Amino acid sequence: MTTDQQIKERLAAAGLTLDRFKSPETVTTTAPPKPPAFEQTQVATSTTGLGIPAKKPFIISNSDKELLEVVDRMSSNGLNTNVLVTGPQGIGKSELAVQFAASRGRPLATLEIGNLAEASQIFGRMDLKDGATTYIPGLFTEAITTPGAVVHLQEINRPENDKALNAIFSVLDDTYRSIWIEELQKAVAVAPGVTFFASLNEGFQFIGTLPLDEALRNRFHIKMDLAPLPFSQEKLVLIMRTGLSDTQASVLMDLASRLRGNTQEPLYLSTRDLVNMGLLVRNGLSSTLAVKAVVGTGADKLESVLLSEHLAGRGNQQTDDEYGLL
């Protein structure tokens, strides 16, 4: 059992609070309670999309945390580091880059590589400003020239545009660390301390993705392969991210375990799925309806799975004390 006191202490240590702890008496049975403040917090971005993200509770293994501390130190020493984050869908790959930036107060730019058909996002464009033709940098160029910025290349194996990918390549390469801007007729260098994160879903089930080019993979100094969180840590994420009570979270975790461990037809449920279910429950939906809504499978099939009381474990060998808040 995770006590509120334990959760409170872990949140306080990470400089966070949970709405539930601020005003527990406002939770009534008639009106659905308000979701916690931090799930509603908007990412603070400039007009271009470069900004310091809001800090949220993020659970990570101690070894990955140690690695990130070194990446941060390297950045403080002016070095540029490339981190490749892989792992199954919905288990925190993108959030890791966001929370790395948030916890260090560093500006973040996220680029959806699959959406880079419009090369101006990378290279910028010439535009009329105060009667003169001026170069307006793209988000990518602005981010890489901001000292200490974190650049997240989302789904780097969905390349739509060769020109864009070549530009990314030259920026990630320690020999060049620069980008050629046609409009300026010059190469723009990567600023000191900029850290690159690339996240990636690999495998046949991800339509439209390509196996990551070996030369590109080789340019990532650090590879982090994220595994699904152990049961108790995922439950903590559920509580901290949605504000559910321990009992409510237990009910959802139990349903999720049964679906995941079903011997006939195991169902893949990510941490994202659980958080989404938790938000529905927090806003007044019953646990079973929340599971059905998020899974989206035919109700009959789900019912039969839920009815077969097979309570299998997650098969994950990680133990509690190997994880903590970022």
Ligand X SMILES: Nc1ncnc2c1ncn2[C@@H]1O[C@H](COP(=O)(O)OP(=O)(O)OP(=O)(O)O)[C@@H](O)[C@H]1O
Q: What is the DSSP letter of 25?
A: G
Which helix (H) or strand (E) element contains residue 68? helix 62-76
- 270: contact with Mg ion by CB under 5 A: no
8 A C-beta contact, residue 97 and residue 152: yes
Residues 60 to 89 in contact with ligand X, rule: CB under 6 A: 89
Q: Smaller CB distance to Mg ion: residue 199 or 287?
A: 199
SS (H, E, C) 169-228: HHHHCCCCCEEEECCCCEEEECCCCCEEEEEECCCCCCCCCCCCCHHHHHCCCEEEECCC
Give dist(CA 210, CA 188) in Å, integer: 29
Candidate list 36, 95, 101, 140; residue touching ligand X; CB under 6 A: 95
- 314: contact with ligand X by CB under 6 A: no
What is the phi/psi pair of residue 200, to 5°? Answer: -155, 135
Shortest distance in whole angstroms from residue 89 CB to ligand X: 4
Provide the token pair at 146.
């901001």
Candidate list 34, 260, 272, 310; residue touching ligand X; CB under 6 A: 272
- 282: contact with ligand X by CB under 6 A: no
Listing DSSP states for 119-184 in one string gives THHHH-EEEEETTEEEEE--HHHHHHTSTT-EEEEETTT----HHHHHHHHHHH-TTT-EEEETTT
Chain-centroid distance of CA 221 in Å reads: 20
Stretch that binds Mg ion, among 162-170, 193-201, 210-218, 248-256 (CB under 5 A): 193-201
Q: Which does 272 bind (CB under 5 to 8 A by kind): Mg ion, ligand X, none?
A: ligand X
Candidate list 68, 275, 291, 295; residue touching ligand X; CB under 6 A: 275
Among residues 115, 104, 146, 139, which one has the least CA distance to residue 125? 139
The mark string for 208-237 relative to ligand X (x by CB under 6 A, - otherwise) is ---------------------x-------x
Shortest distance in whole angstroms from residue 84 CB to Mg ion: 13
- 94: contact with Mg ion by CB under 5 A: yes
Candidate list 93, 106, 219, 292; residue touching ligand X; CB under 6 A: 93
- 157: contact with ligand X by CB under 6 A: no
Q: Smaller CB distance to ligand X: residue 179 or 326?
A: 326
Position closest to Mg ion via CB: 94
Q: Which residues bind Mg ion (CB under 5 A)?
A: 93-94, 199
Binding footprint of ligand X on the chain (CB under 6 A): 58-59, 89-95, 199, 201, 229, 237, 241, 271-272, 275
